[in-house]
Chains A and B, each alone.
Chain A
Amino acid sequence: MISDLLKYTSMLVVLVLLQVLLLNNIQFSGYVNPYMYVLFILLLPFETPRYLLLLLGFLIGLLVDIFSNTPGMHASAATFMAFVRPYTISLISSRDSIEVSIPPRLKTMGFGWFLRYTIILVLAHHLFLFFIEIFSMSGFLHTLTRSLLSTVFTVILIVISQFLIFKE
Chain B
Amino acid sequence: MRSLLQFLARNSFLFLFLALEVVSMILIVNYNNFQRVKFLNSSNRISASIYKTTDDFTAYFKLRKENEELANENARLRTKLQKLQVAEIFGSLDTTRKDTTYQFIPARVINNSVNKQYNYLTINKGALDGIEPDMGIIGPRGVVGVVTNVTDHYSSGPSLLNKRWRVSAKIKKNAYFGSLSWDGSDYQYAQLNEIPFHVELAKGDTIITSGYSSIFPEGILLGVIDDFNHNSGANFYQIKVKLSSNFKTISNVELVKNKHIKEQEKLEILNNND
Contacts and interface: CB of A to CB of B under 8 A. Distances in A.
Contacts of A51: 12-13, 16
Contacts of A132: 28, 35
Which of B12, B21, B24, B26 gathers most chain A CB within 10 Å? B24
Nearest to B42: A136
Given A72-B28, A73-B28, A79 B35 contact: no
Contacts of A71: 27-28, 30-32
20 contacts: A50-B13, A54-B13, A54-B20, A58-B20, A61-B24, A70-B28, A71-B27, A72-B23, A72-B29, A73-B28, A75-B20, A75-B23, A76-B21, A76-B28, A79-B17, A80-B21, A82-B17, A135-B35, A135-B39, A136-B38
Contacts of A54: 13, 16-17, 20
- What are the 8 closest A-B residue pairs judged by CB atoms, nearest first? A72-B27, A76-B24, A72-B28, A71-B31, A71-B27, A72-B24, A83-B17, A75-B24
Nearest to A82: B17
A76 B32 contact: no
Nearest to B29: A72
Nearest to B27: A72
Interface of A is mostly: helix
Interface of B is mostly: helix
Interface in A36-81: 50-51, 54-55, 58, 61, 65, 70-73, 75-76, 79-80
Contacts of B35: 132, 135
A82 B16 CA distance: 11
Contacts, number: 60
B24 A135 contact: no
Interface string B229-246: 000000000000000000
A65 B30 CA distance: 14
A56 B21 CA distance: 13
B197 interface: no
Interface string B12-51: 1100110011011111111110110011000000000000
B35 to A, nearest CB: 5
Contact of A72 (B12, B16, B32): B32
A84 to B, nearest CB: 10
B16 A76 contact: no
A37 B16 CA distance: 22
Contacts of B21: 76, 79-80
Contacts of B16: 51, 54-55
A96 B31 CA distance: 46
A79 B38 CA distance: 23
B146 to A, nearest CB: 32
Interface string B173-193: 000000000000000000000
Nearest to A132: B28
Given A58-B24, A71-B28, A72-B24, 7 more contacts: A50-B13, A61-B24, A70-B32, A72-B28, A72-B29, A79-B20, A80-B21
